[in-house]
Amino acid sequence: MAAGIAKRINPEAPKPGGLAEVRRAFTGLRRGETIAGYLFLAPNFIGFIIFMLFPILFAFYIMLTDWSLAKEPNFIGLKNFETMVNDRIFWKSLVNSFYYTFIAVPTGIFIAFWLALALNRKMRGIIFFRTVYFLPQITLTVAAATVWRWIYQPEIGLINHILELVGIEGPKWIHNTKWAMPSVIIMSNWQGIGFAMLILLAGLQGIPEEYYEAASIDGASGWQRMRFVTLPMLTPALFFVVVTSLIGAFQAFDQFYILTEGGPAQATTPLTLYIFQNAFRFFKMGYGAALAAVLFLIILIITVIQWQLARRWVIGFDEDE
Amino acid sequence: MASMQKKKDVRFGQKQAKILMDLLVYVVLSIAGIIFILPFAWMVANSFKDIRGIYQYPPTFIPEVWQFSNYTEAWTMTHFDLGFLNSALVAAAVVLGQLFTASLAGYSFARLRFPGRDKIFLLYISLMMVPFTVLMIPLYVQMRWFGWISTLQAVIFPFLFTPWGTFMMRQFMVTIPRELEDAARIDGCGFFRTYWLIILPLTKPALATLAIFTFVNTWNSFQWPLIVLGKPKVKTLPLLLASFQNQSGMRTPWHLIMAAATFVVIPVLIAFIVGQKYYVRGIVTSGIKGGG
């Protein structure tokens, strides 16, 4: 203990984290705290190792094998990735994932932005509307997609009935190769907008009132206040919404599975569904894991690009680093 | 005098403009509200129709014949009683487990000093963004090794710990003033008693947020249960609902499916309305802090 105090006084004592520090952590007064620290972390850390760290490492092995689960895995190197090059459905599902993500995310955020702006006004009943917009978000996708599957039925569905009332003959929605993806996107946005809206609303509420007052004193018009106060101050919230929505959209699965099951003619098979089908319908574990690695790589690259681009448009982005 | 009159006019005009704008916003909000609520209303309304009402042309919104028996019929057709039990069991186990492991580890990360702490924490954060799609194949193989396929263990144990929740707990506990614990420590409380008696009561808002998030996510979870729960006896509600609609014959019994969808959705709706404050706060804090 005396040595400990001496070291604390001595400025040339080894830096924390050094071997001496480790030794000290296991002796004397600090021993109890160290042991408690590890013990409290243990249940969590054991779960983390077994159900996260190990599977991630294991995935690297699986993707280099052909494994049907019935037999022992065969190590085949990068052959799964070679197979991908000539796999027409893989490319199709890749295109579908991008189509879905890059239409659903921008349109969703655009609508969420206007709703958040409207909800940011000081009026009665705002919380009621906020709750209503958010309800689909917490509804299980399976139930929501089930209801929408019926709403989309060409002959007896609600949408085509409504369209008929105004004299439009509705398309066949989820049964048509051209309309199936827009159908999924509309349903997904109906369900997912609440999340983006809530974050943008919090961002708007975080803008100090003085900024608007200062802008008004300077004679800024409504549009100028929006352009030079609201939008720049909202960029951190927008950035967060863009990044999480992109990641989420690439992982969307439930609505595709229930609404269209990937059809018609693979028009709505995204990468996630194709991975699922390979692994758990055709029992190609190796190929499935290789496809999952591609998905992960795409998400990683897009996230990194977002962080790089953020420097250019997100206010205060560099300061936080 | 004249200028004052003019000023008043301007202010009067501004007020009118604000009222007009408010009205316009209300109209837009209401139209959007109808679009958001319509599928729910359609679901509930049709859950009371008979099969003729479902296929009737043109359709009516309010059922012409009210058939309340849809609920009992849907309930008994696919063992929804077992489904509810399974879903409730899984949700309860996962929520309680996560609250325990995340708060304990959060305390450890936030307050206790031990070698390697910050490195382990960094590892947690960096793996938080690994998509589940990457984990599911190796995890499935693991479940086979454990002999857990088609058992509830497979949907409980991998989710008893949460990097995201641990992160949230740690961030919350860091803000609790140290003096409170120091007093307890001087009074002779051990670390666990300090955690249990001092820290946990102060962490209630964060615990409530984690609980409601985890409940909603677990209750709604579909992809992983679909992969590991094959036998009807262990199926959770989303799986039953999904398989329910595939049993259809010539005419899909949409009235029964809507009844089933309604009673599957209700528990989450109640959980959300009860815990809305915590849910919204969870999204907002994770959003702003995570994004900033």
Domains of chain A, each with CATH number or no CATH: 16-81 (no CATH), 86-320 (1.10.3720.10)
The alpha carbon of residue B160 is apart from the nearest alpha carbon of chain A, in Å, by: 7
Q: What is the pLDDT of residue A297?
A: 95
Considering the domain architecture, whether residues B21 and B94 belong to the same structural domain is answered as no
Considering the domain architecture, whether residues B172 and B272 belong to the same structural domain is answered as yes
Considering the domain architecture, whether residues B277 and B145 belong to the same structural domain is answered as yes
Q: Does residue B167 sit within a domain?
A: yes
Q: What is the pLDDT of residue A40?
A: 93
Measured CA to CA, the distance from residue A310 to residue A314 in angstroms comes to 5
Percent of chain B with pLDDT over 90: 42
Highest mean pLDDT: which range of A86-95, B58-67, B211-220, B243-252: A86-95
Q: Does residue B54 sit within a domain?
A: no
For B20, other C-beta atoms within 10 Å of its C-beta total 10
DSSP string, B141-162: HHHHHHT-TTSTHHHHGGGS--
pLDDT digits (tens, 9 = 90+) for A43-62: 999 999 999 999 999 999 99
User: Which residues of B are less than 8 Å from A161 in CB distance?
Assistant: 58-59
Chain A residue with the nearest C-alpha to that of B218: A140
Q: Could you tell me the CATH number of the domain that includes residue B128?
A: 1.10.3720.10
A62 vs B21, B42, B137: nearest CB: B137
- Residues A57, A62, A66, CA angle at the centre, nearest 5°? 170
Give A302 or A124, the one with higher predicted confidence: A302
Measured CA to CA, the distance from residue B190 to residue B184 in angstroms comes to 9
Segment 50-89 of chain B within 8 Å of chain A by CB: 54-55, 57-59
CB contact under 8 A, A132 and B129: no
Considering the domain architecture, whether residues B36 and B131 belong to the same structural domain is answered as no
pLDDT digits (tens, 9 = 90+) for A99-144: 999 999 999 999 999 999 999 888 888 888 988 998 998 899 999 9
CB contact under 8 A, B269 and A139: yes
Contact A173, A263 (CB under 8 A): no
CA nearest to B260, candidates B248, B272, B244: B244
Domain of B9, in residue numbers = 2-46
Name the residue with tokens 């690009």: A305
Strands A74-75 and A65-66: antiparallel
Considering the domain architecture, whether residues B187 and B257 belong to the same structural domain is answered as yes
CA nearest to B214, candidates B102, B75, B65, B46: B102
Q: What is the pLDDT of residue A294?
A: 96
Q: Which token pair is A99?
A: 């189509």
CA nearest to B168, candidates B286, B291, B292, B280: B286
pLDDT digits (tens, 9 = 90+) for B19-77: 888 899 999 999 999 999 999 999 999 999 988 888 887 788 888 888 988 899 888 88
A37-57 burial: b if 16+ Cβ within 10 Å, else e: bbebbebbbebbebbbeebee
Tell me the residue ranges of DSSP E strands in chain A: 65-66, 74-75
The alpha carbon of residue A134 is apart from the nearest alpha carbon of chain B, in Å, by: 9
Q: What is the pLDDT of residue A62?
A: 95
Q: What is the pLDDT of residue A147?
A: 92
pLDDT at A206 over 90: no
pLDDT digits (tens, 9 = 90+) for B185-217: 888 888 898 899 889 999 998 898 899 889 989
Q: What is the pLDDT of residue B246?
A: 67
Q: What is the pLDDT of residue A74?
A: 86
Worst-scoring range by mean pLDDT, A233-247, B12-26, B115-129, B275-289? B275-289
For A199, other C-beta atoms within 10 Å of its C-beta total 26
Considering the domain architecture, whether residues B240 and B135 belong to the same structural domain is answered as yes
Considering the domain architecture, whether residues B99 and B211 belong to the same structural domain is answered as yes
User: What does pTM read for this prediction?
Assistant: 0.87
Number of domains in chain B: 2
Mean pLDDT of A248-268: 92
With cut-offs at 50, 70 and 90, classify the pLDDT of residue B129. confident
Segment 196-215 of chain B within 8 Å of chain A by CB: none
Q: What is the pLDDT of residue B267?
A: 86
CA dihedral A274, A279, A282, A285 (to 10 degrees): 130
CB under 8 A, 24+ apart: contacts of B33-36 = B33/A129, B33/A132, B33/A133, B35/A190, B36/A132, B36/A133, B36/A135, B36/A136, B36/A190
